């Protein structure tokens, strides 16, 4: 399945969820930041300056099923060609349907958001790579500006028990096995990068901090 197909299916599924009835709690599969970046059509930095309830027809006069978040974008990491003038993000209104709940009332605080387009709406969810910019590590910031994109031909495989790679383009993600948390060294500091022979290996993004073009990167 191509990356575009995966993005489209995820976005449509999210919109269908938004139209459903809240029941059980949302459950998110573990997703390395690089995987979230590669599977998202849109990745941006910006400030949320307004939130209102909508329905799936983008109207306010019917039973709401979506939240519409007005965003002031300051940087586009991915998807400028798809949404050059992004103004709104959308998410299911219910957290049980994986809706994103914005954690800050500070309209000057910048966040990272990742999402996909369906019916011309950029849909985000609690399962995406959404974070205050201040919480990102320097390595993750370098990943967003360059390294995640270069690794999109690789597959990061979550592993919390006995496991092994089955293809040369796979990297085992063992944070949960080694640290009992998916938010640990590999997620915070490593990128899975392809080599000329088709093999993918973990590479430290810390090592790119000094003496390379990444030193001048800004996020």
Reported as a single tens digit per residue, the pLDDT across 27-70 is 999 999 999 999 999 999 999 999 999 886 666 556 789 999 99
Q: Which of 89, 105, 136 is the last residue of a domain?
A: 136
What rounded mean pLDDT belongs to the chain?
Answer: 87
Q: Which of 112, 136, 160 is the last residue of a domain?
A: 136
| Sequence-ordered alpha helix ranges (H) in 27-131 | 33-39
pLDDT for 207 equals: 55
Q: In this structure, is residue 16 part of a structural domain?
A: no
Q: Looking at per-residue confidence, does 23 or 212 come out higher? A: 23
In this predicted structure, the answer to whether residue 4 has a pLDDT above a threshold of 90 is no
Kindly state whether residues 98 and 150 are assigned to the same domain.
no
Q: What is the pLDDT of residues 192-207, one digit of tens each?
A: 999 999 999 999 998 5
Angstrom CA distances, 116 to 41, 62, 97, 102, 123, stand at: 5, 24, 16, 18, 5
Token pair 């941006």 is found at 44
Q: Under DSSP, is residue 14 helix (H, G, I), strand (E, B) or coil? A: helix
Residues 80, 146: Cα–Cα separation, whole Å: 15
Q: What average pLDDT score do residues 127-145 get?
A: 98
Kindly state whether residues 46 and 125 are assigned to the same domain.
yes
Kindly state whether residues 117 and 154 are assigned to the same domain.
no
pLDDT for 181 equals: 95
Residue 150: domain span: 137-207
Kindly state whether residues 107 and 175 are assigned to the same domain.
no
Q: In this structure, is residue 108 part of a structural domain?
A: yes
Kindly state whether residues 48 and 106 are assigned to the same domain.
yes
Which H or E run includes 195? none
pLDDT for 64 equals: 82
Angstrom CA distances, 48 to 10, 139, 150, 170, stand at: 23, 24, 29, 36
pLDDT for 206 equals: 81
- The neighbour count for residue 170, using CB atoms within 10 Å, is 16
Kindly state whether residues 97 and 45 are assigned to the same domain.
yes
Q: Out of 1-5, 20-24, 107-111, which region has the weakest mean confidence (pLDDT)? A: 1-5
Query: What CATH number is associated with residue 155?
Result: 3.90.370.10
Q: Under DSSP, is residue 174 helix (H, G, I), strand (E, B) or coil? A: coil
Kindly state whether residues 98 and 123 are assigned to the same domain.
yes
Q: What average pLDDT score do residues 93-98 get?
A: 92
Residue 26 assigned as binding residue:
yes
Give the pLDDT band of residue 8 (cuts 50, 70, 90): very low
Q: In this structure, is residue 93 part of a structural domain?
A: yes
* pTM reported for the whole predicted model: 0.82
Q: Which of 107, 136, 165 is the last residue of a domain?
A: 136
């Amino acid at each position: 399945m191509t990356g575009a197909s995966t993005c489209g299916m995820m976005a449509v599924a999210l919109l269908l969820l938004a139209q459903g009835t809240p029941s059980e709690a949302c459950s998110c599969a573990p997703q390395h930041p690089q995987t979230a970046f590669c599977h998202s059509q849109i990745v941006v930095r910006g400030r949320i300056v307004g939130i209102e309830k909508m329905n799936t027809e983008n109207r306010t006069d019917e039973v709401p099923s979506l939240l519409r978040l007005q965003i002031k974008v300051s940087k586009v990491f991915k998807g400028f060609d798809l949404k050059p003038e992004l103004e709104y993000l959308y998410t299911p209104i219910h957290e049980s349907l994986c809706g994103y709940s914005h954690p800050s009332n500070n309209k000057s605080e910048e966040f990272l958001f990742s999402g996909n387009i369906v019916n011309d709406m950029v849909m985000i969810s609690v399962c995406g790579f959404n974070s205050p910019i201040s919480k990102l590590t320097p390595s993750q910031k370098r990943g967003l500006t360059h390294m995640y994109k270069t690794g999109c031909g690789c597959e990061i495989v979550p592993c919390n028990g006995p496991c092994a790679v089955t293809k040369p383009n796979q990297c085992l993600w063992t944070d949960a096995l080694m640290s009992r948390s998916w938010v640990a060294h590999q997620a915070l500091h490593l990128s899975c990068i392809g080599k000329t022979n088709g093999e993918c290996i973990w590479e430290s993004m810390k090592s790119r901090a000094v003496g390379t073009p990444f030193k001048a990167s800004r996020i």
